[in-house]
A and B are shown apart, each in its own frame.
Chain A
């Protein structure tokens, strides 16, 4: 209610949306917000479409939102952004990863991966496109794509006052801490570059 803001992270099972939202929620709690986060485990995780919701404010009631209610949609996969776009407020923002994961019908050649997805989203909402896969590869580990997107989200939501570096270091294995911190910074820069 009131000043509660809602973040919707979507992607494909296995992309690390849950770790990204864990770090996000932890940082928001440390900043003094009331936070609720909801995620789906189980069947859907086997390569299916997954979503995590994070809500924060002075006092948060519902852990989930319905359509037309997200302040920002962060899509870890390109087509998923389109699947979930109607959950966004009409004046909401989109951070979309320029990264395609073909779903089963596409793999089998029974359907085509839709063309012009990013253009279609840009037409409808204030959108930042992040090439998180390339950034992660440049850093030397494709798996940190999720933290690149977390950095982009934090910048896009103007949540930069929080000491994210420390939160990341507290939540990932020590040997992956540096690369994750770098990934986070590169994600923030990606938004800055897009704004400039």
Chain B
């Protein structure tokens, strides 16, 4: 039976069929749905980890215990997991082990567009790259076999257009795999320097065997049409190349891309007149081919910036421009993403935006949108957890050099658990006076409502312990902690005044559920959701636009009438606009 699946769904199915026993991940676009789908299989122990390093280490533990294991993360997640990743390159595995990296060419939902194929080379592990959903499924199964055969972690590199594109997949059966015996083996897993020294020798030997495999495996295959043009390609770029060249080129399709099948590549290159290397982002394949003295055309013509598509490949290599309809785009107004109507972050950023002489150090999540107009309440966003540590460093300098600047660090609940906790220890330990604001909306929102250590539920929705953020920060040594309702501007303003006056570090926790969250029983008990919707009394509205400047997508300013209008469909009655209105022109209806 064939099913239309996304690459992520196909990876989950592949894990099931491959007999995988354990899977762990931290959510991150475009990888999130891998674990969400694996969670549907009772045969697989599957978990959300607090961050990617934890996920990879837990997966390693499962592998050492003899299980087939999988970890999944977005590309930047592998930066967090790089520490265990490189050493797993040395130790190898017991049960088969696969790490999925989901890269984001085009930065649809990311802070950079790093090409994680280099990680495979860097850590000297095997790598596969699927081009569609069927391959994504098949390669998980194949990668498990490769992992066990060569005693290596296998990195599977996906990209947004593989993860989030659907194509047909043949559904198979699960093949149960027995758990291998656990064996204490200090020469393999106890990587003290003397052990690691010997392991490095073995890693280099393994690479040679893997290259032989790369030349033999049918994951790397030739489609022969002509000797005029040859195309070497991998991943979704292969599909673009086929779309553009059809049967007017021959192809060397690479599915196993570390180590590269250099013998196969040389043979292919010798047979064709012109050789193109079509790859998305960096010249990972091209550079290695050129280093062998083989002539090819790649990144000198195809951009290494943003994602590719057939049009870009055709324009770059064939100088073919499509005929398009001319559009006067000056009429089209931008449509940037915004915080949702009723988002609890809005009130927080509105109150914070009124503060003068502050550096607002932000983080990664929905609340990153607090930096956009009209709130403009964020100076920096770098990577998960950086808000607190970056803010700490800045505040130490401001203080020592007498700069009149206060630092406010803004981080979400899930991001705080991810890597913010360590940074907050730095704040306490090294005595800065930053105001750390933990925006606890009771869920991991940006990636689509995942549970985390603070929600009280596991990936499968089972009840579990709930980290109490206030207790946690107090245990770290924060003496000044307040929890406020971010929908109440007076509470926020008072909390800011209190925290700004302190010369010691403080934490403000804003606690209110995400407007999109499906409330749990505990949420329903804790949060009294206000019924009704907000409405503008046009008689009283003076057109000052204060409500509009909260950036709520439910509020529209009618320029002809010079009045604000609230869209009843979108409004969820959070009452923030009522609090900013100087004439009390906004009222609650339908309570």
A contacts, CB < 8 Å to B: 1, 12-13, 25-26, 29, 34-49, 60-69, 79-80, 82-83, 85-90, 102-109, 111-114, 117, 120, 124-125, 142
Of B2, B327, B569, which contacts A124 at CB under 8 A? Answer: B327
Name the CB-closest residue of A to B2: A29
Of B168, B243, B326, which contacts A35 at CB under 8 A? Answer: B168
Q: Is the CB of A104 within 8 A of B336?
A: yes
Q: Is the CB of B551 within 8 A of A108?
A: yes
Of B32, B309, B323, which contacts A90 at CB under 8 A? Answer: B323
- In the complex the two chains form, what is the Cα distance from A65 to B312 in whole Å? 10
List residues of chain A with CB within 8 A of the CB of B374: 108
- In the complex the two chains form, what is the Cα distance from A64 to B165 in whole Å? 9
Q: Is the CB of A43 within 8 A of B446?
A: yes
Closest CB in chain A relative to B329 CB, distance in Å: 8
Q: Is the CB of A68 within 8 A of B108?
A: no
List residues of chain B with CB within 8 A of the CB of A62: 236, 239-240, 242-243, 309-310
Besides A79-B333, A105-B373, 16 more A-B contacts (Cβ < 8 Å) are A34-B167, A38-B166, A41-B164, A46-B337, A62-B310, A63-B236, A66-B309, A80-B335, A82-B332, A85-B325, A85-B327, A86-B324, A88-B324, A104-B372, A107-B555, A117-B331
Nearest 7 pairs of A and B residues by beta carbon: A66-B311, A42-B109, A68-B322, A42-B29, A63-B165, A48-B337, A46-B337
Of A26, A47, A124, which contacts B337 at CB under 8 A? Answer: A47
The number of chain B residues with a CB under 8 A from chain A is 62
Closest CB in chain B relative to A121 CB, distance in Å: 9
Q: List 5 A-B contacts (CB under 8 A).
A: A44-B109, A64-B161, A66-B311, A90-B324, A107-B557
List residues of chain A with CB within 8 A of the CB of B569: 142
Closest CB in chain B relative to A179 CB, distance in Å: 17
Q: Is the CB of A68 within 8 A of B310?
A: no
List residues of chain B with CB within 8 A of the CB of A111: 333-334
List residues of chain B with CB within 8 A of the CB of A79: 332-333, 335
Given A68-B322, A85-B327, A107-B555, A40 contacting B108 (CB threshold 8 A): yes
Chain A proximity mask over B365-391: 1 for CB below 8 Å, otherwise 0: 010010011100000000000000000
Q: Is the CB of A46 within 8 A of B324?
A: no
- In the complex the two chains form, what is the Cα distance from A83 to B323 in whole Å? 17
- B340 close to chain A: CB less than 8 A: yes
Of A37, A38, A82, which contacts B331 at CB under 8 A? Answer: A82
Within 8 A of A (CB), among B527-564: 545, 548-549, 551, 553, 555-557, 559
Given A41-B29, A43-B108, A67 contacting B335 (CB threshold 8 A): no
Q: Is the CB of B556 within 8 A of A63?
A: no
List residues of chain A with CB within 8 A of the CB of B447: 42
Closest CB in chain B relative to A103 CB, distance in Å: 4
- In the complex the two chains form, what is the Cα distance from A56 to B333 in whole Å? 32
Q: Is the CB of B165 within 8 A of A104?
A: no
Name the CB-closest residue of B to A25: B4
List residues of chain B with CB within 8 A of the CB of A83: 329, 332, 335
- In the complex the two chains form, what is the Cα distance from A88 to B324 in whole Å? 7
List residues of chain A with CB within 8 A of the CB of B160: 40
- In the complex the two chains form, what is the Cα distance from A46 to B239 in whole Å? 30
Name the CB-closest residue of A to B242: A61
Of A89, A108, A113, which contacts B549 at CB under 8 A? Answer: A108
Q: Is the CB of A42 within 8 A of B108?
A: yes
- B30 close to chain A: CB less than 8 A: yes
Name the CB-closest residue of B to A42: B109
List residues of chain A with CB within 8 A of the CB of B446: 42-43
- B262 close to chain A: CB less than 8 A: no
Within 8 A of A (CB), among B305-364: 309-312, 314, 322-329, 331-340
Q: Is the CB of B551 within 8 A of A90?
A: no
Q: Is the CB of B556 within 8 A of A102?
A: yes
Within 8 A of A (CB), among B1-42: 2, 4, 29-30, 32
Q: Is the CB of B551 within 8 A of A104?
A: yes
Name the CB-closest residue of A to B368: A43
